[in-house]
Amino acid sequence: MANGKTLEKLQEEQTEMLATAHDLDLEVPDELKAEFTDVKAGKAMCASLNKMIQEFTATKEPVDTEEALDVSNDEPKKETKKVKKATVAKKTTVKKAKKAVAKKGRRVAAKKAATNGAGRKRAALDENAKITWVGEGVPGREGSARWKRIENLKKHGGKTVGTFLKSSIGKPGTLRWCVNNGLVKI
């Protein structure tokens, strides 16, 4: 798998495998997440990670991390129960974190809906206000869509904002742009 690879390639491969393990919700021991500066250590870590990912995808069940690390199991059974309790506790905290993120996402979506998706509220245009054209000409390339919208605004000079917005190509963005660039006064 990792024969003849440079240190950089092994580090890149480790990063990709850790990302894959994260996507699979596979718990990876900290020893396999650590950075390495030795090619031999990198090959061993990548081999262990690869073995864990392959076993997890084959069984769709969590893999015993000690077995993947080839660590001898000299610990008493009470220790393994503690490990199981820790993984259960970690899974519940992950579920709580996912719920919190989802809740925050709903709040952000509601805020964007209330603020036209821009994250800030725009000032409403008074539909009874009169449009006064003060510019000298219509900017832009003649015949373009932008030029047509601004020309339409110029034709609505002396009329209300409401009538301009009800026209077929009247857009509030065009009106705001023209006000900001000194072509129109409301």
Residues linked to residue 130 through DSSP beta bridges, in sequence order: 160
139: three-class secondary structure by DSSP: coil
> What pLDDT is attached to residue 132?
93
Residues linked to residue 184 through DSSP beta bridges, in sequence order: 133
> What pLDDT is attached to residue 89?
61
> What pLDDT is attached to residue 90?
59
> What pLDDT is attached to residue 60?
66
pTM for this one?
0.37
> What pLDDT is attached to residue 3?
59
> What pLDDT is attached to residue 83?
59
Compute the distance between CA of residue 65 and CA of residue 74 in angstroms, rounded to an integer: 14
107: three-class secondary structure by DSSP: helix
Compute the distance between CA of residue 133 and CA of residue 137 in angstroms, rounded to an integer: 10
What pLDDT tens digit does each residue of the chain (186 aa) get? 445 778 888 888 888 888 888 888 888 888 888 888 888 888 888 888 888 888 888 876 555 555 555 544 444 445 555 555 566 665 666 666 666 666 666 666 666 665 655 556 677 888 899 999 998 888 889 999 999 999 999 999 999 999 999 988 888 889 999 999 999 998
Are 164 and 153 contacting, i.e. CB atoms less than 8 angstroms apart? yes
Compute the distance between CA of residue 144 and CA of residue 46 in angstroms, rounded to an integer: 57
> What pLDDT is attached to residue 14?
86
Q: Which two tokens stand for residue 144?
A: 């373009």
The set of residues, in sequence order, having a beta carbon less than 8 Å from that of 50 and lying 6+ positions away, is 1, 17
> What pLDDT is attached to residue 109?
65
